[in-house]
């Protein structure tokens, strides 16, 4: 081992505190990169493998009713490889007395060996007998949420007919990775059922003997989807086709894709912040080490070591710390990514998991860590390379403080000697102090942004279910009805008020930008389910024009004054051109709103409603639920409290749980930065502190001289950290927001206060650790010149 390598190990042992803190920061950055990229890769590959293995359709084409012969005509279209017709229908899953009915989706089930598309994965039990009329497969997620098993029975209303069924097996399907009740955006396994019946039983229940009401299509490799969809629409238009759509617009796949895209954005934006902070810390450590070791550098060069060899020695020190941190981060990233992938497997109902960490994430993680560390040090090593032995072995030229304002001297009447020492060092080394302030402020900004993001999640819940939705229940009808249906609801004992709504499925267009959604017709002055602007003020419905949610306006690239093209997929299916009247803030989904009267006029269907929002007497809530449950026109009922609980669960146990990891990482980095600053100050001034002790200063006074500087740095970093945190909050929130839910940028004083307290706590702990080392220091050894 060469002398320089032995010196390297001695230096690492001597600065093990700083080196460990910097390696930890690098490790956390690499961990986040490996974890997130591995999670994205795992989810993407698992989804694709599931889709391929169980042959999820490329195109879905719902319609009213078409004869079975049309399936062959669809299959003969250019670009189509396989076409299948099936029967689907809405249903109500019966519940015990006092509970609201559960909305359900029923699907026809061919023989297992005939499932050419959208195959079902049997997880328990057995397949229903093909001749059976009451045997079903039940979606596993719903069955577990409701405590149902193969052999159990239930009743459900299908097409107005209530029947009893027996569960023969539990199943999963690639088209139900993400299940939400109709009209809602948040998944809730307990409130939405999916079950499969033999094809003959479904055909009999929905009057589809020799017919189908949804076509599933697989495309040939390389075939373009848009021309195929247009051709299918042309074929099925006479049969009530509501518009074919691709896999990208399928609700389940779209929600999974949004989550993967959000993780991908976070994976590219968050880890570089941590690595940049690590590079800055390494720059400070190496810069101060080189300054302290001028004489040693001069001696090394005098003994024949070249400037390049000495520079490489210090570069080895940097690379050793960076490599150790990157290696630790890679191992931790694999473990964390595996744990997160298992959580997502449960959340998205994957029957298997293709865990895969992209090798590129390791290469990128190591490369970025080493480059970031090296980049911060090369500026310092350039000085080492240029330093000549004669210059290095001479003491550095004493700095000239004659032109510096001596605040310590001016304030000598009010400050004692240790305080003047602290103030004099601060004013004489402003650049060094500024660097320390920036480092601590960066750590605090991470804590501020993470806490603010968590407060943004809470704000999403509060605005959605307290400010906007002030109802207790939402009722939807099977078909649009007259306003007398709302009057019947209002006359129901226990119902305090009812506000009608008209929801029309539609394809929304603006040139090449398309979104498959709906138009919601509201009352002129909504009270129970309000539309708000970005200042949380209610918006009244204009007599003409549409109000777009901000996410929808962004997707369609529209602003007030532009024209929205609406292709209605209900009734006569007209094509409407409606001016955009305004932009609203919605934190769940991407809806569009307009006056119910104006919408009905445009559709030439006056006085129609699709449902209503209700407020009820809570003492009679169970009776209200029972009465509404027996109304034949009602297709579904949902409680606001159930939706709120589902959203909170989504944010705490689903994708939103990533924020807890980020909070832990931010707290660790903040402590690492502050501890590093304290350790660097101690290493830099160990000789000065020992001299003060020998001259008669007590341990407390000597500690005050050192830690007073740290206290000043912390106080200056607090306001700067708050400002940096606000900007960083915006970047992180953008990465986490999706079409499912949007996280508002919230600058909450409580979050800022908690971040400041965390910084102060980290400073107190770091100060205590440093003071403990000071008290244990050997004064003789500290005063000796180090060889």
Helix H, strand E, coil C: the string for 325-348 is HHHHHHHHHHHHHHHHHHHHHHHH
Residue 401 carries which DSSP code? -
- Kind plus residue range of the DSSP H or E element containing 25: helix 16-53
d(CA 452, CA 696): 48
d(CA 744, CA 754): 19
| Closest C-alpha among 385, 310, 372 to residue 7 | 310
Phi/psi region, residue 385 (left: phi>0; alpha: psi -120 to 50; beta: rest), is alpha
- The model's pTM is 0.76
**What are the tens digits of pLDDT across the range 55-87?**
999 999 999 999 999 999 999 999 999 999 999
**What are the tens digits of pLDDT across the range 509-541?**
998 898 888 999 999 999 999 998 888 889 999
| Domains in the chain: boundaries | 88-204, 429-469+640-787, 495-616
**179 near 161, Cβ under 8 Å?**
no
Helix H, strand E, coil C: the string for 645-686 is HHHHHHHHHCHHHHHHHHHHHHHHHHHHHHHHHHHHHHHHHH
Contacts with 252 (C-beta within 8 Å, 6 or more apart), sequence order:
175, 176, 177, 178, 179
What confidence tier does 6 reach under pLDDT thresholds 50, 70, 90?
confident
Give me the percent of the chain exceeding a pLDDT of 90: 26
pLDDT score recorded for residue 501: 93
**What are the tens digits of pLDDT across the range 286-304?**
666 666 666 777 777 777 7
Computed on alpha carbons and rounded to an integer, the radius of gyration of the chain in Å comes to: 33
pLDDT score recorded for residue 787: 44
Q: How many residues does the chain have?
A: 787
**What are the tens digits of pLDDT across the range 549-607?**
988 998 899 999 999 999 988 878 899 999 999 999 887 778 899 999 999 999 999 99
| Closest C-alpha among 779, 568, 582, 598 to residue 687 | 779
């Amino acid at each position: 081992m060469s002398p320089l390598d032995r010196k390297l190990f001695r230096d690492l042992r001597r600065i093990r505190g700083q080196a460990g803190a910097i390696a930890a920061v690098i490790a956390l950055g690499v961990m986040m990169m490996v974890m997130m990229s591995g999670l994205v890769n795992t989810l993407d590959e698992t989804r694709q493998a599931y889709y391929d293995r169980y042959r999820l359709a490329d195109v879905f084409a719902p319609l009213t009713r078409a004869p079975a012969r049309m399936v062959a005509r669809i299959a003969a279209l250019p670009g189509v490889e396989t076409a299948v017709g099936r029967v689907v229908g809405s249903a109500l899953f019966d519940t015990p007395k006092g509970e609201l009915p559960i909305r359900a989706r029923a699907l026809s089930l061919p023989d297992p060996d005939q499932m050419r598309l959208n195959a079902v994965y049997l997880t328990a039990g057995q397949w229903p007998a093909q001749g059976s009329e009451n045997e079903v497969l039940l979606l596993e997620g719903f069955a577990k949420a409701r405590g149902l098993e193969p052999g159990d029975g239930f009743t459900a209303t299908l097409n107005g007919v209530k029947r009893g069924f027996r569960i023969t097996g539990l199943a999963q399907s690639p088209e139900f990775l993400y299940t939400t009740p109709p009209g809602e955006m948040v998944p809730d396994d307990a409130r939405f059922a999916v079950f499969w019946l033999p094809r003959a039983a479904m055909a009999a229940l929905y009057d589809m003997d020799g017919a189908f009401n949804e076509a599933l299509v697989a495309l040939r490799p390389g075939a373009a989807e848009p021309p195929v969809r247009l051709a299918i629409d042309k074929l099925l238009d006479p049969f009530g086709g509501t518009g074919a759509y691709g896999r990208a617009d399928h609700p389940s796949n779209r929600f999974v894709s949004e989550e993967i895209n959000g993780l991908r954005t976070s994976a590219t934006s968050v880890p570089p912040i941590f690595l940049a902070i690590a590079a800055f810390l390494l720059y400070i450590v190496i810069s101060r080490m080189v300054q302290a070791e001028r004489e040693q550098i001069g001696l090394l060069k005098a003994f024949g070591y070249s400037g390049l060899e000495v520079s490489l020695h210090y570069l080895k020190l940097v690379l050793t710390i960076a490599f150790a941190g990157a290696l630790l981060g890679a191992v931790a990233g694999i473990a964390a990514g595996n744990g997160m992938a298992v959580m997502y497997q449960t959340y998205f109902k994957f029957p298997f998991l293709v865990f895969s960490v992209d090798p590129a994430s390791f290469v990128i993680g190591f490369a970025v860590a080493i480059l970031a560390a090296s980049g911060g040090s090369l500026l310092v090593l350039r000085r080492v390379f240029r330093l000549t032995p004669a210059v290095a072995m001479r003491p550095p030229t004493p700095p000239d403080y004659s032109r510096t304002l001596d605040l310590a001297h001016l304030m000598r009447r009010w400050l004692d000697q240790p305080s003047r020492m602290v103030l004099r060092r601060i004013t004489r080394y402003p650049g060094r102090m500024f660097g320390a302030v920036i480092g601590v402020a960066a750590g605090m900004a991470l804590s501020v942004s993470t806490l603010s993001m968590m407060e943004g999640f809470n704000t999403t819940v509060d605005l959605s279910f307290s400010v906007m939705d002030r109802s207790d229940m939402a009722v939807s009808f099977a078909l649009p009805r007259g306003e007398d249906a709302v009057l019947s609801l209002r006359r129901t004992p226990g119902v305090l008020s009812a506000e009608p709504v008209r929801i029309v499925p539609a394809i929304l267009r603006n040139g090449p930008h398309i979104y498959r959604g709906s138009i919601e017709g509201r009352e002129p002055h909504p009270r129970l389910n309000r539309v708000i602007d970005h200042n949380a003020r209610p918006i009244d419905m204009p007599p003409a024009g549409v109000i777009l949610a901000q996410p929808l306006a962004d997707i369609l690239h529209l602003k007030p004054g532009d024209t929205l093209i609406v292709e209605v997929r209900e009734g006569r299916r007209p094509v409407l051109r409606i001016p955009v009247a305004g932009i609203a803030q919605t934190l769940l989904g991407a809806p569009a709103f307009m006056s119910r009267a104006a919408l009905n006029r445009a559709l030439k269907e006056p006085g129609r409603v699709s449902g209503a929002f209700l407020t009820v007497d809570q003492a009679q809530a169970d009776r209200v639920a029972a009465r509404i449950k027996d109304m034949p026109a009602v297709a579904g009922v949902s409680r606001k409290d159930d939706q709120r609980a589902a959203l909170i669960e989504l944010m705490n146990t689903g994708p939103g749980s990533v924020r807890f990891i980020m909070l832990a990482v931010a707290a660790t980095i903040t402590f690492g930065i502050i501890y590093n600053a304290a350790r660097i100050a101690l290493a830099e001034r160990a000789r000065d502190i020992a001299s003060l002790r020998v001259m008669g200063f007590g341990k407390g006074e000597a500690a005050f001289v050192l830690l007073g500087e740290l206290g000043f740095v912390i106080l200056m970093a607090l306001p700067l950290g708050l400002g940096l945190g606000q900007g960083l909050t915006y970047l992180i929130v953008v990465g986490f927001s999706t079409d499912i839910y949007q996280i508002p940028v919230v600058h909450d004083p409580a979050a800022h206060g908690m971040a400041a307290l965390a910084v102060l706590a980290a400073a107190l702990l770091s100060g205590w650790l440093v003071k403990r080392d000071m008290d244990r220091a050997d004064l003789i050894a500290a005063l000796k010149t180090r060889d």
